[in-house]
Amino acid sequence: MHMSLEGLLTCNAEPSLQHRTVLADAAVAHLVQDPDGLYVDGTVGHGGHAELIARRLSPRGRLVAVDRDEQALTLAATRLNGFGKQVTFCRDNFKNLPLILNRLGITAIHGLLLDLGVSTLQLLDPERGFSFATEGPLDMRMDQTQKVTAAQLVNSLPEEELANLIFTYGEERHSRRIARRIREVRQLRRIASTAELADIVERALGPRRPGQIHPATRTFQALRIAVNNELEGLGDLVQKMFDLLLPGGRLVVISFHSLEDRIVKQNFQLLAGHCICRRPPDLCGCPRRERVRLITRKPEVPTAEEIRLNPRARSAKMRVAERI
């Protein structure tokens, strides 16, 4: 959905003073190679990266800002109000970017940024249900118009399916123990809140030791990924977006867990003409066609100082590739 600034400023949301954009300067420095270019921020969130991009553009440069979270898009529109018509806002899922750009009449771009993390706004709002740190409804929807919530998955999925979900998306080795405990509790009552689920998981696994992450961390990650279909189509999108990049254009992706990073890494390697199947040459089915140049051979990570200022940045990994 292409939206005007006036249409966005209806949520009356206030910008969060506690939000810090991860890898902000590094990401934008990699992205913007032509100040006159057309760039896309596919996960604009609070607009931290987008503002830095817009500041690097000449009066001829343009930015398309996309997010499926209406509240986040409203905050970004407020933040970027001073850039006027240089910035176009679209409420949609970044996985629909080829269609979004087609609707806008855009056939080629100079760069795309994807920050795949959950925003601080979402984490700090108890009503959104993303965090076990505060009591709230078990929701986790980035797009609040969609129907499926975390509560529905927790209370309706068969035990084995729930265990597989937690294992696959959360990489939680105790997933079966957690799913069994959830099934036992939901037979007695509906599980409706973040605090309730966190307590169930903690009781299933036992209290954490000093220095360990909260026992519910991986379970919450798995449910969030499932609710929002975060991994579905990500690799396909990476492939398609390089078709829209001009030669020299760059795709910058910031991920926050190994599942996303693995998908990005493998697709970047394929596009760079590398083999990812590890089979003998006569059995290899990898394209071996070099379409991009890897700018980051290994992912860039936040500095120790950035992690000190923003502990949520500790798991961030940034990969950059440039179309040849």
What are the pLDDT tens digits along the chain (324 aa)?
A: 554 443 443 333 333 345 579 999 999 999 999 999 999 999 999 999 999 999 999 999 999 999 999 999 999 999 999 999 999 999 999 999 999 999 999 999 999 999 997 887 788 899 999 999 889 999 999 999 999 999 999 999 999 999 999 999 999 999 999 999 999 999 999 999 999 999 999 999 988 788 788 999 999 999 999 999 999 999 999 999 999 999 999 999 999 999 999 999 999 999 999 888 878 877 787 887 899 999 999 999 999 999 999 888 999 999 999 999
**Domain ends where: 208, 228, 248?**
228
Residue 125 CA to residue 51 CA, distance in Å, equals 23
Asked if the structure places residue 121 within a domain, the reply is no
Asked if the structure places residue 174 within a domain, the reply is yes
- What range defines the domain where residue 222 resides? 126-228
Q: What is the 3-state secondary structure (H, E, C) of 292-304?
A: EEECCCCCECCCH
Asked if the structure places residue 50 within a domain, the reply is yes
Same domain, 14 and 146: no
Which residue is associated with the tokens 């998306």? 169
Contact yes or no for 13/144 (Cβ under 8 A): no
Same domain, 148 and 285: no
Residue 64 CA to residue 42 CA, distance in Å, equals 8
Contact yes or no for 219/81 (Cβ under 8 A): no
Residue 136, CB-side half-sphere exposure with 13 Å CA sphere: 18
CATH number for the domain spanning 269: value is 3.40.50.150
Same domain, 213 and 235: no
What's the full length of the chain, in residues?
324
What the block records as the tokens of 175 is 């997933």
Same domain, 272 and 209: no
Same domain, 90 and 146: no
Same domain, 98 and 244: yes
State which amino acid sits at residue 52.
Answer: L
Asked if the structure places residue 269 within a domain, the reply is yes
Same domain, 7 and 110: yes
